[in-house]
């Protein structure tokens, strides 16, 4: 019965999502403004969580500043939601217009590919990470693999899979990460890790992130050391509404030579710098600090 309901919901929703993806950007953002009013003022989706996260992360900001950030985040959040579905039908030309890559970033990836180095990309839920994957696959020679959590609804999971692989990206379920990377060792690849999710507290690296004790997944660092793949940090900065630019920097060329915790600390601090620079474009709805350090 549950599968039948899931299928009906999906097939009823699908035409609307395709219609949504075909809307011109000005119309899409007008709709986003309407969704913002509904989400922020009527539904109040996770408002208390977001407000508390902002307060704890920026203790020196005034209440007026926090309230301003609070609203700015929800505007971004609604834009991000609709931009994601735009991927269903957006052209390559439009994709690269709305999510570009800095010249020095492209040159870095070209050099790494020329040196036949597979790499690991580490980033956060910052900017538009979905569009960043599309831009990388369109411009770079590395085969991009993205680590992801499959959705429980197999129909919507299939739709997300279709969107994320449309421009050549391939996906790896999180549970298969290391096995798949070993299997792909003969290929010059780039494997992307979204490294700001919340691990179980007893099996995590703990650090101070945005003024709070925060657990960080060990996986990125441990896999990098085992395979000795260079670590590249990715920043997706918002230029203006609907436009982002992709910036990358090499964090570690030879991870196997680094000290324990060094990689985890570096990519976490680098993300923190980005969030402080553009705080409204990080995913504050996450219960990032639901675990407390023992």
Q: What's the confidence (pLDDT) of residue 5?
A: 78
CA 42 from chain centre, in angstroms, equals: 27
Q: Give the model's pLDDT for residue 165.
A: 97
So what's the pLDDT on residue 93?
97
pLDDT at position 69, please?
A: 98
**pLDDT for res 8:** 86
Q: Is residue 288 part of a domain?
A: no
Q: What is the pLDDT of residue 87?
A: 94
pTM of the predicted model as reported, rounded to 2 decimal places: 0.94
Looking at the domain assignment, is residue 294 inside a domain? no
Q: Is residue 287 part of a domain?
A: no
Largest Cα separation within the chain, whole Å, is: 54
- CA dist., res. 186 & res. 175, Å (int): 21
Domain assignment of residue 181, yes or no: yes
Instruction: Give the residues of the chain that fall short of pLDDT 50.
Output: none
Domain assignment present for residue 286? The answer is no
Which tens digits make up the pLDDT trace of 41-72? 999 999 999 999 999 999 999 999 999 999 99
Question: Is 151 part of a structural domain of the chain?
Answer: yes
Contact 72, 64 (CB under 8 A): no
| Tally of domains within the chain | 1
In a domain? residue 267: yes
Domain around 87: 2-281
Identify the pLDDT of residue 250.
98
Whether residue 193 lies inside any domain: the answer is yes
- Which of 122, 53, 132, 145 lies closest to 268, judged by CA? 122
Which pair of structure tokens corresponds to residue 209?
């992130």
Mind listing the pLDDT tens digit for each residue in 139-158? 999 999 999 999 888 999 99
């Amino acid at each position: 019965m549950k599968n039948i309901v899931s299928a009906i919901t999906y097939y009823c929703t699908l035409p609307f999502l395709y219609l949504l993806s075909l809307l011109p950007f000005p119309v899409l953002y007008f709709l986003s403004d309407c969704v913002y009013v509904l989400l922020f003022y009527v539904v109040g989706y996770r408002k208390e969580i977001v407000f508390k996260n902002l307060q704890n992360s920026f203790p020196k900001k005034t209440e007026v500043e926090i309230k301003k950030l609070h609203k700015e985040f929800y505007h971004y959040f609604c834009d991000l939601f609709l931009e994601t579905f735009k991927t269903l039908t957006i052209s390559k030309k439009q994709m690269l217009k709305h999510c570009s890559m800095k010249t020095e970033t492209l040159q870095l990836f070209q050099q790494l590919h020329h040196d036949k180095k597979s790499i690991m990309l580490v980033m956060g839920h910052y900017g538009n990470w979905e569009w960043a994957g599309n831009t990388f696959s369109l411009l770079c020679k590395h085969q991009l693999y993205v680590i992801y959590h499959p959705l429980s609804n197999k129909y919507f999971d299939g739709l997300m899979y279709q969107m994320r692989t449309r421009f050549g990206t391939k996906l790896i379920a999180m549970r298969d990460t290391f096995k798949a990377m070993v299997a792909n060792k003969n290929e010059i690849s780039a494997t992307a890790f979204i490294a700001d999710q919340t691990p179980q507290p007893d099996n995590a690296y703990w650090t101070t992130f945005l003024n709070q004790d925060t657990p960080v997944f060990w996986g990125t660092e441990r896999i990098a050391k085992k395979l000795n793949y260079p670590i590249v940090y990715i920043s997706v900065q918002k230029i203006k509404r609907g436009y982002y630019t992709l910036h990358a920097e090499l964090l570690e060329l030879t991870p196997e030579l680094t000290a324990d915790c060094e990689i985890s600390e570096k990519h976490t601090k680098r993300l923190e710098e980005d969030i402080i620079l553009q705080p409204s474009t990080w995913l504050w709805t996450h219960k990032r600090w639901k675990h407390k350090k023992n």
